[in-house]
């Protein structure tokens, strides 16, 4: 049984640096592809036995220090009234995106037990199946990233519609963000009640914003979520990509652990976020396509930059890509453990 | 006749801050759409009278302080042996992308006069047509960004193939980058000889790299280009997006002006790149979709952060988006001039 991950989140000493990977349950694993051959992403999310199975797959295969429940950040948008589909190979598509104040006003509230009970049940079953072997992480999308999908109707390159609403109808924007942050705060609290031992807030696309826009239009809502979670006593991880100029603001939103992408050296990112936080990261996901010797050089550089300070959780700078060779994942996990083992 | 732009590039005092816009000749203009209704992008690039016409369109419509020759950064890839097409609404597609050392070895050299003479002729004609009214900027893609298109076969989200070549066959990578930097250096020198009064190197996608990878795999080649251009005496602008953690390294590559995206406040970006450079930027292109009052607030914030120091060229943080309302472009140009007019 490994409590390295939770200890590192609290910046307590550990026997060696804990490792997990964003999207460690996913398409790069043949056993996941087998499940998906018969079921859509949404079916897997909504069927606890399947969600638990794919949650456990990477834990069985690799020496990882945390499991993360299999789910999707967009799930809370469905009970709010948005129609969510995953087009083959194209990512999420929302057929009725939000464009007006009226669209925002028409959104429903999310009742986690009634609307997202399948995620909570998956968490309960995954906790039981893990039997304390490694902790289980719950997660949700941050309000900005959820809003960007809800407004654009899917992924986006330039976030024109998102920013148009933000700039042209700030009242509608703030209404939407308030609703999303309420939904996410309740959902994460319910995940903790169901057994999640840490939570990660994914603000994956927040790097599209300038620091001023982040401070005005996004950060207050992430802050509201972290604040609501504070009393639950579980570590709160805050993650964005392409967001290195936002790190001090993201840290100030109230998390315990800051996630870094690979665009900033770990020590510099840690210093920018603040040494009073733990830090998670930050190998380039594409480094897993390199030869082992080159992967090793990069992993050891990150370990060196962490400088054996308490509070480093090894991870990638973004999720594992579907084309990733699975053996690279195991290689990195073992290497991090070996290279950081504290003696005596 | 305005020499504000060239003076600001040299950090000399100006009567007011010069303004131009990346992609100021483009799809947001009805008169450009009219030309494109009958001609592909490549036809416009390769027909000097058309290229000159679209180069001049924004100069006629708005009070801009520089023209930029209409061309595409990928043009040098064709004479190297890559097949370039622009699929409708999908961006560039290269049918025979580079994947191996053999592919790299088979690439041809670029002879600017023989292979890209149409761009040089467009520059000569545009200079004549501008008659000194505003200076003319030439440009090229930086080796990393060109390599990413050549290897991926088009735009990319994760640059897996690019980094795979970089990490798994560094000799082939360095061979490719050497060839691209030779081609770009020669092409830009020929543009200057044809009349370009400043040059911009677009490393639009370099933000995909970590600082260490940039230093090892990309920066030496951009440096080679800037070094070759140094003796020509024209200002050299260096531009990337999502690259704020690379700014000190990009500045060190040897440019005169550093281009900033909107993800960093102008004063902080200028300080990171170094006060011995001029700076260009950095309004979010999507801010042009905001109401005028909101655009004004953002423009004035940038002006304030420039603090009337010599060496600020106002621009966007990336190119004008096709959906942009043209009146916003004129509004910003006039506002910048008005707000920065030096009295006495």
> What is the CA angle B85-B284-B180, rounded to 5?
40
**CB contact (8 A) between residue A265 and residue B212:** yes
pLDDT of residue B90: 72
| Chain B touched by A90 (CB under 8 Å) | no
How does residue A89 score in pLDDT terms, banded at 50, 70 and 90? Answer: confident
**CB contact (8 A) between residue B285 and residue A158:** yes
**Smallest CA–CA separation between A312 and chain B, in Å?**
19
Across the range A267-295, mean pLDDT stands at 98
Active-site entry in B10, B15, B27, B305: B27
Across the range A261-270, mean pLDDT stands at 98
**CB contact (8 A) between residue A207 and residue B294:** no
Active-site entry in B23, B127, B179, B224: B23
**ipTM for the whole predicted complex goes beyond 0.90:** yes
**CB contact (8 A) between residue B263 and residue A286:** no
Across the range A187-193, mean pLDDT stands at 98
How does residue A23 score in pLDDT terms, banded at 50, 70 and 90? Answer: very high
On the question of a cis peptide bond just before residue B282, with omega within 30 degrees of 0, the verdict is yes
DSSP 8-state symbol, B62:
S
| Chain A touched by B289 (CB under 8 Å) | yes
**CB contact (8 A) between residue B167 and residue A290:** yes
pLDDT of residue A344: 47
Residues of chain B below pLDDT 50: 344
Which of A264, A286, A294 best probes binding to B when mutated, by most B CB atoms within 10 angstroms?
Answer: A286
Closest chain A residue to B208, measured at CA: A263
Active-site entry in B65, B72, B256, B261: B72
Comparing CA positions, the residue from A247, A251, A331, A339 lying closest to residue A302 is: A339
Chain B neighbors of A245, CB-CB under 8 A = 244, 263-264, 268
pLDDT tens per residue across span B47-89: 999 999 999 999 999 999 999 999 999 999 999 999 999 987 7
**CB contact (8 A) between residue A263 and residue B210:** yes
Active-site entry in B10, B36, B298, B305: B36
Closest chain A residue to B212, measured at CA: A265
**Smallest CA–CA separation between A226 and chain B, in Å?**
24
The distance from CA A180 to its chain's CA centroid, rounded to whole angstroms, is 16
Chain A neighbors of B294, CB-CB under 8 A = 167
Chain B neighbors of A158, CB-CB under 8 A = 285-286, 321
Please give the Cα distance from B293 to A150 (Å, whole number): 27
> What is the CA angle A187-A20-A76, rounded to 5?
20
Q: Which residue has the tokens 């309302």?
A: B325
Q: What is the CATH number of the domain that holds A51?
A: 3.20.20.210
Interface A-B: count of C-beta contacts within 8 A = 91
pLDDT tens per residue across span B144-157: 999 999 999 999 99
Chain A neighbors of B213, CB-CB under 8 A = 284
**CB contact (8 A) between residue A301 and residue B244:** no
| Chain B touched by A164 (CB under 8 Å) | yes
Please give the Cα distance from A295 to A124 (Å, whole number): 36
Chain B neighbors of A289, CB-CB under 8 A = 160, 163-164, 167-168
Q: What is the 3-state secondary structure (H, E, C) of chain A?
A: CCCHHHHHHCCCCCCCCCECCCCCCCCCCHHHHHHHHHCCHHHHHHCHHHHHHHHHHHHHHCCCCCEECCCCCCCCHHHHCCCEEEECCCEEEECCCCCCHHHHHCCCCCCHHHHCHHHHHHHHHHHHHHCCCCCEEEEEECHHHHHHHHHHCECCCCCHHHHHHHHHCHHHHHHHHHHHHHHHHHHHHHHHHHCCCEEEEEECCHHHCCHHHHHHHHHHHHHHHHHHHHHHCCCEEEEECCCHHHHHHHHHCCCCEEECCCCCCHHHHHHHHCCCCEEEEEECHHHHHCCHHHHHHHHHHHHHHHCCCCCEEEEECCCCCCCCCHHHHHHHHHHHHHHHCCCC
Across the range A50-77, mean pLDDT stands at 98
**CB contact (8 A) between residue A301 and residue B212:** yes
- Residues of A with catalytic roles: 23, 27, 36, 72, 149
Number of Cβ within a 10 Å radius of residue B332: 25
Average confidence score pLDDT of chain A: 97
Number of domains in chain A: 1
Across the range A275-304, mean pLDDT stands at 98
| Chain B touched by A187 (CB under 8 Å) | no
Please give the Cα distance from B257 to B270 (Å, whole number): 10
pLDDT of residue A2: 79
**CB contact (8 A) between residue B265 and residue A211:** yes
Which residue range(s) make up the domain with A133? 4-340
């Amino acid at each position: 049984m490994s409590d390295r991950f939770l200890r590192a989140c609290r910046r307590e000493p550990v026997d060696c640096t804990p490792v997990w990977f964003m999207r460690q349950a996913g398409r790069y694993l043949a056993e996941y592809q087998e499940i998906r051959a018969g079921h859509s992403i949404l079916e897997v999310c909504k069927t606890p036995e399947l969600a638990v199975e794919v949650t456990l797959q990477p834990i069985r295969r690799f020496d990882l220090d945390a499991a993360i429940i299999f789910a999707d950040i967009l799930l809370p948008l469905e009970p709010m009234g948005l129609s969510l589909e995953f087009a083959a190979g194209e990512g999420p598509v929302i057929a009725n995106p939000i464009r007006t104040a009226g669209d925002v006003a028409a959104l429903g509230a999310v009742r986690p037990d009634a609307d997202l009970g399948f995620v909570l049940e998956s968490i309960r079953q995954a906790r039981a199946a893990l039997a304390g072997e490694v902790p289980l992480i719950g997660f949700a999308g941050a309000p900005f990233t959820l809003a960007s999908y809800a407004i654009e109707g899917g992924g986006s390159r330039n976030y024109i519609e998102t920013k148009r609403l933000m700039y042209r109808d700030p009242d509608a924007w703030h209404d939407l963000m308030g609703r999303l942050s309420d939904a996410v705060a309740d959902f994460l609290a319910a995940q903790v009640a169901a057994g999640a031992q840490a939570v990660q807030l994914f603000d994956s696309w927040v790097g599209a914003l300038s620091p001023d826009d982040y401070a005005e239009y996004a950060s207050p809502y992430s802050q509201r979520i972290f604040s609501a979670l504070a009393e639950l006593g579980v570590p709160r991880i805050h993650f964005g990509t392409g967001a290195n100029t936002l790190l001090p603001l993201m840290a100030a939103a109230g998390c315990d652990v800051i996630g870094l992408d690979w665009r900033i050296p770990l020590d510099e990112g840690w210093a920018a976020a603040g040494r009073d936080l733990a830090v998670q990261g930050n190998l380039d996901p594409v480094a897993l396509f390199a030869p082992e010797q080159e992967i090793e050089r990069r992993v050891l550089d990150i370990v060196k930059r962490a400088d054996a300070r308490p509070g480093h959780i090894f991870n990638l700078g973004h999720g594992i890509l579907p084309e990733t060779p699975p053996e690279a994942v195991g290689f990195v996990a073992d290497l991090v453990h070996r290279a950081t083992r504290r003696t005596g």
